[in-house]
Structure formats: structure tokens, C-alpha cells
Chain A
Amino acid sequence: MKMLINVPETVVADALRGIAAAHPDLTVDVERRVIIRRGAPYEGKVGLVSGGGSGHEPLHGGFVGKGMLDAACPGEVFTSPVPDQMVRAAAAVDSGAGVLFIVKNYTGDVLNFDMAAELAEDEGVQVAKVLVNDDVAVMDSTFTAGRRGTGATLFVEKIAGALAEEGASLDQVAAVARRVNELSRSFGVALTAVSTPAKGGPTFDLPDGELELGVGIHGEPGRERRAMMTSGEIADASVEAVVDDLQPDGPLLVLVNGMGGTPLLELYGFAAEVHRVLGERKIPVARTLVGNYVTSLDMSGCSVSICQVDEELLRLWDAPVSTPGLRWGC
């Protein structure tokens, strides 16, 4: 397996140096592994901090900037960051208005952010947490660690970020973040396995001619393996999964997300199929975002995330954002 790396041990640090070089609007603490919006903390503004394993770029470092996150903590590849990073991030972005931790539902992320919240509060930072758990592919959550946090993380970070930018309180920002999570669902499909730098090759077997329905962002399976399907058939299955779970009765934000190894040509074709299925179900779409946003290294495949929006959420979604990975209205 050929990879554009030096050695596996420095992959994350090397990427952080590149982010620093490419984005002067960000302060990158390579040593302590925190990416901070330049100028933070902003007077009176709630700080938004997220983080998780590396390998999902642009999530989360690529979403640091005006109108979204104030800081991001990248862990090792597919491994949650450690509490020290989050405490450092919280201290760097807290203006006194408090900090919101946006946490994807994985055991490691939850435990490390919980520890960090305690430590940050010991240092006088008021912390609220929101847990993102949008992945409908995890069926019997009583017997698992619960639904995974995947694509809806982008909705939560964008909308909560917009509200924080307006000067809302920590309670208000946390409340909107939780509301967005409750109104969001995701479903992922893998066409190939994912290759981690440490392993130097695929971390699981996915034979040619088969796909994995309900895959997570680390390649964890969800529902079933099937013979390869067309883009239209995958859209039918994915949209059915999210819509049946959410039962939306209003307009949707739709994220057609690439896992990292699927070209935009295919993703746009898939987006057309997603629109077809939603149209057949007479569910209106307010906005559609297509691209690689919540990725899984080199995995081929896609996910569909939906969020049911009202006027307020749509206004916050449309608010200006200026980050390396998401930018409009600025």
C-alpha cells in the first residue's frame, strides 16, 4: 500500500504543520495538538471545541474559524484525543462565557472529553457537552455503546457555531446543538476497506463485488454486506434508513458526504439519486452539501446525513462561515 507519508508515527504532526502553513487564520499548536481560531478568545463569545481521531479530515480542524469551531483537538489516527488537548483548547478559547464540547459518541471520545470537562471546570472554565449520535445503522443500541456520531457532527458544529457567533449564551448554544443532533440522522456505505498508516494496509476485508451497508467512519460495519449495487440502489437504501428513522415533516438539510476515496463525479451522481428518492417521498430539501467532509482516510463510499430544519436552524445554517473546509457568505 503506497501512502504519501514519512513514517506512520509522525502522520498527525506532519499534517498539523501543513495546516499551519496553509491557513494563517489558524493557530496550530503542533506540540500540544490543538488547532485554534486566530484571535481567540473572542470577548463574550461561547467557545466551541470539538475533536476526535485523525483521519476524518476536514473534520474537525478544517472546521475551525469564523462561524464554526473555536478549537479542534486531533487525536492519533482513529483514536480519540487525550484530555490535556481539550483542556488546553478550552483554556485558549474561553472568554469567560463558557465552552461547549461537541463530542461524537465513541467510547474513547466520551471518556476523554468527560475527563477534560472535569479538569477544565477545576480550572474555572464553565463547560457544557453535547453528544452527537446520529448513525441509524447501529440497530440494537442497548447492546452496543449506542449510536455512533458521524455526519451530523458537521450540522451541529455549523449551526451551534453560528449561534455562538451571534453572542448567545452557553445554555442557548448547547440547546441548539442538542436540538440539531435530535433532528439529524446519518447512514454510511463502504465500497472498499480503509487503510490506516500504522497498519500500512486495509484494516478489514471487503471483497471486490461487495459493499458494506451501514458502515461507520472507521469502517466499522453496521447492518449487512451485500453484492455491489448501483448508485440509485444505494441512495434508495440510505435515504430509506435515515428517513424511516427520523420521520421528517419539514424541509431537510442534506449532506452527501464522501468517505475520502470516492471522486466528486460519483458523489454528485449519488446526490442526484438522493434527491430523486426524497422527491419520490415528497420530502422537501432546503439545502444540499456535496463533498468529502467527514471522511475515513482512503475509504471509498459515501454517507447521507439529513437534518430537519425550521426557519431558525436554516438561518443559522446559511450564516457566514469561514473555515478551511467550509466557507460561504464571507
Chain B
Amino acid sequence: MNALPADGPEIDAAFLRRWLDTAADVIEREAARLDDLDSPIGDADHGGNMRRGFIAARTAVGQEPPDTPGGVLVAVGRQLISTVGGASGPLYGTLLRRAGKELGDEPAVSAARLRDALKAGVDGVAQLGGAAVGDKTMLDALYPALDALSGALDAGASTADALSAAAAAADTGATATIPLRARKGRASYLGERSIDHQDPGATSAALLLNALSDTATGTAA
């Protein structure tokens, strides 16, 4: 449904509202798995916390739908900061708010603009959390996804194909956290014992990027 047009794909507020619906659904579906991933290296609540945030975000955006893509991202970010708690709330909230502010009040943007905005958001996350790629955090999914998105767009891929490449790279990045030793967040206290567990934050980041890709291809459930 509602796949992006093949010619001159533009990302508008309706597109990002569909992404929010898809993301909220997938977080709902995967909340228990995120909790399970968080159990050995955190405190088993990442899924529950994200579910609470996305339910609130969907409700808020549904009640007062912003009419720009930037507005949607800012609204979702604000809800996550206000409802999630823990580290995920400020981190995901900052990502989306920063990206939304970057988009300003344009009624529709290109995929390249969305990429630049996401880059600004992810850089904001890195700055706020003081983490880098390899620290076993959500950045291990987000930065590879941005690289893949950029590479695909530069090679002339369609928006849907480029987002799909980003989602695949995020999945790979999330899986690649398994052998890493955590250096940030609650898992860092486990030291060597954080090894051999997939990072729940990288996993939820990959889920959100897959939701974006599914929205673009119209394959969202």
C-alpha cells in the first residue's frame, strides 16, 4: 500500500506517519524479544520501554497530525523523551527531534535530505551518549545504515531501494554487536560478560529502519 512513486520520490508528512504506524506495530510485536535481548546484559525492559514510547507517539501524532515530515519527527522525538525513560528515551528522542529540526518546515523532502537529517540526528546521539561505533550500542546499527543509504543514493538507487539497503545494513550491524564488549550504558558493567549477546539498542534501531524501508516499498504489515 502507498508505495512511493517511482518518479521523483518525495517524503512527506503522510509517509512518516505511515512509518510511525509501522514502527509502533513492529515494536509492539518485537517488544518481548527486545526484553529478552536486554535480560542478560541490561535489565530486561528495553522492549517495554520502547513500546510505551511508541504507543504515546502514535497517539499524540494521531490526535494532532503534523503536516510536515520534520514536524512528525519532532513530535515523535518529543513523545519518546517524555515517556520512555532510561537511556533509550533521550537517545531516540534526540535522534528524531534533531532530524526533524534539520528538515525544517518543508512540506516534502527528498531521500537525500532525509539522509542528511538522519545523519544530523545520529551524530546528536553519538554526542549525547558519548559513544562511537564498536561500543556495542544503537550506533552500531545506525552508522552502517547511514553509510549504506548514502552509498545507494549516490549510486542512483530509488528511495525504496536505498532505504532497503539501509535496513539491511542495520540488521547486519545489529548482529555484528554480538562479539563486542559493551563500553557504554548498563551493559558496560558486565565487561567481558557482555560478549556473545546482541545489543538490544542496535536491534531496536534496526527494527525502526526496517519499518522505514517497509513504508517506502509498501510492504508494511
Q: CB within 8 Å of B: which residues of A? A: 53, 75-84, 106-108, 111-112, 114-115, 138-140, 143-145, 148, 196, 198-199, 203-204, 216, 218-222
Contact = CB atoms under 8 A, between A and B. Distances in A.
A111 B86 CA distance: 8
Nearest to A199: B44
A234 B94 CA distance: 43
Interface in B176-221: 181, 183-186, 188-191, 193
B134 to A, nearest CB: 12
A107 B87 contact: yes
B43 interface: yes
Given A107-B129, A198-B35, A203-B43, A75 B189 contact: no
Contacts, number: 99
A107 B184 contact: yes
Interface of B: 35, 39-40, 43-45, 48-49, 52, 81-91, 128-129, 181, 183-186, 188-191, 193
B81 A115 contact: yes
Contacts of A114: 90
12 contacts: A53-B85, A76-B85, A78-B45, A82-B85, A106-B186, A108-B90, A111-B129, A143-B181, A145-B184, A196-B44, A198-B44, A218-B43
Contacts of B91: 111
A198 B48 contact: yes
Nearest to A203: B44
A143 B130 CA distance: 12
A325 B205 CA distance: 40
Nearest to A223: B191
Nearest to A147: B189
Contact of A84 (B45, B82, B86, B190): B82
Nearest to A141: B188
Contacts of A84: 82
Interface centre among A112, A148, A216 (most CB of B within 10 A): A112
A204 B35 contact: no
Contact of A115 (B45, B49, B52, B90): B90
A84 B93 CA distance: 13
A82 B81 contact: yes
B40 A143 contact: no
Contacts of A145: 184-186, 188-189
A199 B34 CA distance: 12
Contacts of B40: 204
B196 to A, nearest CB: 14
Nearest to B91: A111
Given A77-B45, A111-B91, A204-B40, A148 B83 contact: no
A112 B83 CA distance: 11
Contacts of B184: 107, 145
A79 B50 CA distance: 12
A253 B90 CA distance: 36
B186 A81 contact: no
Nearest to A142: B183
A79 B188 CA distance: 16
A72 to B, nearest CB: 15
Given A111-B91, A112-B85, A115-B90, A79 B45 contact: yes
B82 A216 contact: no
A221 B190 contact: yes
B171 to A, nearest CB: 24
Contacts of B39: 199, 203-204
B45 to A, nearest CB: 6
B85 A80 contact: yes
A316 B185 CA distance: 34
A305 B39 CA distance: 27
User: Residue among A53, A76, A219 with the most chain B CB within 10 A?
Assistant: A76
B86 A80 contact: yes
A80 B86 CA distance: 5
A219 B89 contact: no
Contact of A111 (B128, B181, B186): B128
A79 B39 CA distance: 13
A82 B186 contact: no
A76 B89 CA distance: 12
7 nearest interchain CB pairs? A144-B188, A111-B90, A108-B86, A108-B87, A107-B87, A79-B85, A220-B189
Contacts of A198: 35, 44-45, 48
A203 B43 CA distance: 7
A203 B84 CA distance: 20
Nearest to B183: A143
B83 A82 contact: yes
Given A111-B90, A221-B190, 16 more contacts: A53-B85, A78-B43, A79-B86, A82-B83, A83-B81, A111-B129, A114-B90, A143-B183, A144-B189, A145-B189, A199-B35, A199-B39, A199-B44, A218-B186, A219-B43, A220-B190
A144 B129 contact: no
- Of the listed residues A78, A115, A144, the one surrounded by the most CB atoms of chain B closer than 10 A to its CB is A144
B183 to A, nearest CB: 5
